[in-house]
C-alpha cells in the first residue's frame, strides 16, 4: 500500500496535476479515458527526438542502431511487464487497432489467406463468436464485422443487475460452435473485474480462441497474460501513463506466427516479387510501415515507472480509492450507481446516474469546480441500454488519485441536484 | 454571473423542465396528418443523446405545428422547447431567421450579441457558446427541425 506521502511524491512527478481549472486545483478523475503522464515519459519522448531519432530496423548507421535499441528495449519492457515473450508483443497505434488486427486477421484466414497454417482460424456459417454485454465498442464492433464478413453468428454473455457477467448459461452460450470468446478483463464503466480463469477454461473446453481486452486491467493491476492463458490480448499505452499513438497486441507466439496480417507493406516481408510476398515471423509481420518509435520509448518509460512503483501497491492504492468513491457516491441522495459494490473484485472506475440531471449537466457543474470526469456512454451503448440509461457520469482513478480528490468530487456531486433545483 | 450561471440561466432551466412541444409524435401512428409533414431524427454521437422532431404545416392556414421527443441534457431539451415556441409563434420563415441567428450565436465563442427580437428565449443560450463541448447539445433540435421543415416543404410541393 502506498502511504499518503508516497502518493504525494508520485503526484509531483505529473506536471499537469499542478495546474488549475477555472481557478480551482485540478481534480483529475478521468484516468479511465486517458491517464496523465509522469515527467519521465515526457522526457523519454523528448530524449528520443533530441538524441536518437532515426528509422528502426533499417539502415546501418549509428543512429539507426540506437533507435532500434530504444524500440526493441521498449518491447522487452512491455513484455516483461505483462508476462509475455518479446515475440508476443506487437505494436499497434492503439488497442482498437490491436483488436481489429485479430478480428480482421481471422476474416483474412476465412477468406483463404495465410495458407494451410491459417486453416485453424477458419470461421464461417454455423460457427459463433461470443462477446459480453459489457464490452467497449472496440471489443464489440470488430466482432460484429467479422460475423458479417464470415456468416458466423454473434452471441453475447448478458449482465446481472449488479454489474457482473451472468454466467448461468455460459455452457450454452459458449458451445462447440464457438470459435472466438472476446471479453474485457475489467469493465471501463462498471469497474467489474471478470473471472478470466473460468471464461478461458470454458473456451478451452470447446476449442475457442480467447481475446482479452486488457485496457482497464494492465494500468491498474498486476497482469500476467501467460498465466491468464489467453490467446490474444490488447491494451493501450495512453491509459497506462504512456503516450497516445501506441497500443499493444499480445498473442501467443505460435498464433501470431500463423495469423494472417491485415496491414501489409514495407518492413514486414522477407521476399517480394511482382505477384506475391513472404511475410516475416511475428512481431514484424504485423508492423508494416514506419512505427511509432518515440511513443514506444515513452511507453517503455511508463512501464518502468509503474514497475518501480510496484503494481501490487498500485492495485492496493486504487482499491482503497475505489472503496471511497463507491461508498461516497452511494451516500449522495438521488444518485444511482451501476456496477458492483466495493467488496467485489473491481477497479476504481465508478459510473452513476444522477436522477433528474443529465450526465452532461453533471459533468459541467463538476468541471466548474475543477473536477474532470467522463460523461456519456463511455463507448458502451449496449451496457447503458441494459441498465435503462443513455449516459452516465464516470469517475475513474489512477495511481496519483488521492482521498482528497475523492472528497472534493463527492462534495461537488452532492451540490449537483440542488444546483438544478431537483429533489 | 459566473460562466456556469450564464450557461444555466433560469429561463433555460425552466424550459428544460416545462418542455414545450415535447409530445407524442405522429410518425408511424397512422393518425391523419397534413401532407406537408416532415420528421427528422438526430443523434449526438458523443453522448448518445437523440431527438426526433416533426414539422407539420396546415395546408389551409400555413400554421406550423412542432412535435418532438427525445432524451438529452438540460441544454438540448431546453433548446428544443425554445425552438418549438419560436417556430409555432413565427412560422417557418420566422424559424428560418431565428435558426440563422442562433447558429451564428452558438459559434461566437461567447463574443456574440443575441438579438432578442429574433431569438426570443433562445437569446438565453448565449452563455452556451463559451462551452464548445455543449454547442452540439444546443443545436441538435434546430438541425432536426430545419431538416423536418425542408421535408415538409418538399412534400407540400409534391402535393401542390
Cβ pair A384:B74 closer than 8 A:
no
Cβ pair B47:A376 closer than 8 A:
yes
Domain span at residue B143 reads: 3-159
What's residue A280's pLDDT? 95
What's residue B159's pLDDT? 47
Torsion of CA A110, A116, A119, A125, to 10 degrees: 50
> A40 an active-site residue?
no
User: With contact defined as beta carbons under 8 Å apart, do B123 and B117 qualify?
Assistant: no
User: With contact defined as beta carbons under 8 Å apart, do A219 and A33 qualify?
Assistant: no
Number of folded domains in chain B? 1
Give the minimum alpha-carbon distance from A87 to chain B in angstroms, rounded to a whole number: 37
Helix, coil or strand: residue A267: coil
Q: Are strands A128-132 and A178-184 parallel, antiparallel or unpaired?
A: parallel
User: With contact defined as beta carbons under 8 Å apart, do A137 and A381 qualify?
Assistant: yes
pLDDT category at B157 given cuts 50, 70, 90 is low
For residues A88 and A28, what is the distance between their CA atoms, to the nearest angstrom?
A: 34
Give the minimum alpha-carbon distance from B125 to chain A in angstroms, rounded to a whole number: 15
pTM for this model (two decimals): 0.94
- Strand runs labelled E in A64-177: 89-92, 128-132, 153-157
Which residues from B are below 8 Å from A376, CB to CB? 46-48
Neighbouring C-beta atoms of residue A80, cutoff 10 Å: 14
B158 pLDDT exceeds 70? no
B48 pLDDT exceeds 80? no
Cβ pair B46:A376 closer than 8 A:
yes
Name residues 71-100 of chain B within 8 A of A (Cβ): 71-75, 77
Give the minimum alpha-carbon distance from A96 to chain B in angstroms, rounded to a whole number: 17
DSSP code for A168: T
User: With contact defined as beta carbons under 8 Å apart, do B52 and B69 qualify?
Assistant: yes
The DSSP line for chain B is --HHHHHT-HHHHHHHHS-TTB----TTS-----SEEEEEEEEETTTTEEEEEEEEE-TTT--EEEEEEEE--HHHHHHHHHHHHHHHHHHHHHHHHHHHHHHHHHTSTT-PPP-HHHHGGGGGGGGGGG-HHHHHHHHHHHHHHHHHHHHHHHHHHHH-
Sort residue A126 into left (φ over 0), alpha (ψ -120 to 50) or beta: left
Which grid coordinates belong to A364?
A: 459541467
What's residue A49's pLDDT? 97
Which grid coordinates belong to A96?
A: 482498437
Helix, coil or strand: residue A199: helix
Nearest C-alpha neighbor of A397 from the set A196, A195, A216: A216
B43: nearest CA in chain A? A390
Complex ipTM value: 0.88
For residues A262 and A121, what is the distance between their CA atoms, to the nearest angstrom?
A: 14
- In order of A37, A72, A317, A349, the CA distances from A307 in angstroms are 15, 18, 15, 22
Cβ pair A360:B3 closer than 8 A:
no
B75: nearest CA in chain A? A361
User: With contact defined as beta carbons under 8 Å apart, do B106 and B128 qualify?
Assistant: yes
B85 pLDDT exceeds 80? yes
Look up the CATH number of the domain holding residue B63: 3.90.1010.10
Q: What is the mean pLDDT of chain B?
A: 91
Q: Which of A360, A384, A421 sits opposite B73 (nearest CB)?
A: A360
Percentage of chain B lying above the pLDDT 90 cut: 77
Q: Reading across the β-sheet that carries A128-132, which strands appear in turn?
A: A89-92, A247-251, A232-236, A209-213, A178-184, A128-132, A153-157
B27 pLDDT exceeds 90? no
Nearest C-alpha neighbor of A293 from the set A37, A33, A80, A73: A73
Which residues from B are below 8 Å from A358, CB to CB? 49, 72-74, 77
Residues 6+ apart with CB under 8 A from A260: A105, A108, A109, A113, A114, A118, A121
Q: Which of A22, A360, A365 sits opposite B47 (nearest CB)?
A: A360
- In order of A122, A146, A201, A261, A265, the CA distances from A107 in angstroms are 8, 6, 25, 10, 19
Per-residue pLDDT of chain A (423 residues; tens, 9 = 90+): 899 999 999 999 999 999 999 999 999 999 999 999 999 999 999 999 999 999 998 878 999 999 999 999 999 999 999 999 999 999 999 999 999 999 999 999 999 999 999 999 999 999 999 999 999 999 999 999 999 999 999 999 999 999 999 999 999 999 999 999 999 999 999 999 999 999 999 999 999 999 999 999 999 999 999 999 999 999 999 999 999 999 999 999 999 999 999 999 999 999 999 999 999 999 999 999 999 999 999 999 999 999 999 999 999 999 999 999 999 999 999 999 999 999 999 999 999 999 999 999 999 999 999 999 999 999 999 999 999 999 999 999 999 999 999 999 999 999 999 999 987
Amino acid at each position: 500500500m502506498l502511504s499518503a506521502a508516497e502518493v504525494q511524491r508520485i503526484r509531483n512527478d505529473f506536471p499537469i496535476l499542478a495546474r488549475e481549472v477555472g481557478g480551482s486545483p485540478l481534480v483529475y478523475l478521468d484516468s479511465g479515458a486517458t491517464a496523465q503522464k509522469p515527467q519521465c515519459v515526457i522526457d523519454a519522448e523528448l530524449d528520443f527526438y533530441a538524441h536518437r531519432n532515426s528509422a528502426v530496423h533499417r539502415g546501418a548507421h549509428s543512429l539507426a542502431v540506437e533507435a532500434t535499441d530504444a524500440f526493441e528495449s521498449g518491447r522487452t519492457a512491455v513484455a516483461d511487464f505483462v508476462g509475455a515473450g518479446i515475440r508476443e508483443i506487437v505494436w499497434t497505434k492503439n488497442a482498437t487497432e490491436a483488436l481489429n488486427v485479430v478480428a480482421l486477421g481471422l476474416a483474412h484466414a476465412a477468406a483463404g489467406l495465410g495458407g494451410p497454417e491459417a486453416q485453424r482460424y477458419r470461421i464461417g456459417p454455423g460457427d459463433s463468436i461470443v462477446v459480453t454485454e459489457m464490452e467497449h465498442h472496440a471489443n464489440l464492433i470488430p466482432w460484429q464485422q467479422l460475423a458479417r464478413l464470415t456468416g458466423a453468428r454473434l452471441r453475447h454473455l448478458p449482465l446481472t443487475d449488479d454489474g457482473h457477467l451472468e454466467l448461468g448459461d455460459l455452457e450454452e452460450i459458449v458451445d462447440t460452435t464457438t470459435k472466438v470468446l472476446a471479453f474485457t478483463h475489467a469493465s471501463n464503466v462498471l469497474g467489474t473485474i471478470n473471472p478470466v480463469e473460468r471464461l478461458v477454461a470454458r473456451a478451452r473446453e470447446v476449442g475457442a480462441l480467447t481475446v482479452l481486452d486488457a485496457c482497464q486491467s494492465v494500468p491498474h493491476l498486476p497482469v500476467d497474460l501467460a498465466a491468464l492463458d489467453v490467446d490474444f490480448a490488447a491494451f493501450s499505452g495512453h491509459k497506462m501513463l504512456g503516450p497516445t499513438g501506441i497500443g499493444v497486441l499480445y498473442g501467443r507466439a505460435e498464433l501470431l506466427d500463423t495469423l494472417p496480417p491485415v496491414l501489409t507493406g514495407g518492413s514486414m516481408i522477407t521476399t517480394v516479387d511482382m505477384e506475391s510476398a513472404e511475410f516475416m515471423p511475428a512481431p514484424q509481420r504485423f508492423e508494416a510501415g514506419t512505427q511509432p518509435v518515440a511513443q514506444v520509448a515513452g511507453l517503455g518509460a511508463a512501464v518502468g515507472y509503474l514497475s518501480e512503483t510496484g503494481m501490487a501497491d498500485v492495485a492496493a492504492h486504487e482499491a482503497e480509492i475505489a472503496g471511497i468513491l463507491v461508498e461516497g457516491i452511494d451516500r449522495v441522495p438521488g444518485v444511482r450507481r451501476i456496477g458492483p459494490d466495493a467488496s467485489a473484485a473491481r477497479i476504481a472506475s465508478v459510473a452513476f446516474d444522477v436522477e433528474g440531471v443529465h450526465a452532461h449537466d453533471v459533468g459541467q457543474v463538476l468541471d466548474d469546480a475543477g473536477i474532470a470526469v467522463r460523461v456519456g456512454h463511455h463507448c458502451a451503448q449496449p451496457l447503458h441500454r441494459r441498465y435503462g440509461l443513455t449516459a452516465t457520469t464516470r469517475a475513474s482513478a489512477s495511481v496519483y488519485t488521492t482521498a482528497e480528490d475523492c472528497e472534493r468530487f463527492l462534495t461537488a456531486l452532492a451540490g449537483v441536484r440542488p444546483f438544478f433545483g431537483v429533489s | 454571473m459566473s460562466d456556469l450561471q450564464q450557461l444555466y440561466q433560469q429561463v433555460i432551466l425552466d424550459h428544460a423542465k416545462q418542455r414545450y412541444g415535447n409530445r407524442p409524435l405522429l410518425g408511424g401512428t397512422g393518425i391523419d396528418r397534413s401532407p406537408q409533414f416532415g420528421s427528422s431524427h438526430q443523434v449526438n454521437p458523443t453522448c448518445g443523446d437523440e431527438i426526433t422532431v416533426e414539422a407539420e404545416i396546415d395546408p389551409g392556414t400555413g400554421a406550423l405545428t412542432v412535435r418532438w421527443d427525445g432524451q438529452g441534457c438540460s441544454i438540448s431539451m431546453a433548446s428544443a422547447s425554445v425552438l418549438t415556441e419560436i417556430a409555432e409563434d413565427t412560422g417557418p420563415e420566422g424559424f428560418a431567421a431565428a435558426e440563422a441567428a442562433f447558429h451564428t450565436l452558438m459559434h461566437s465563442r461567447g463574443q456574440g450579441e443575441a438579438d432578442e427580437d429574433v431569438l426570443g428565449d433562445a437569446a438565453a443560450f448565449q452563455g452556451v457558446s463559451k462551452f464548445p463541448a455543449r454547442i452540439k447539445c444546443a443545436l441538435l433540435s434546430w438541425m432536426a427541425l430545419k431538416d423536418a421543415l425542408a421535408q415538409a416543404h418538399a412534400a407540400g410541393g409534391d402535393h401542390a
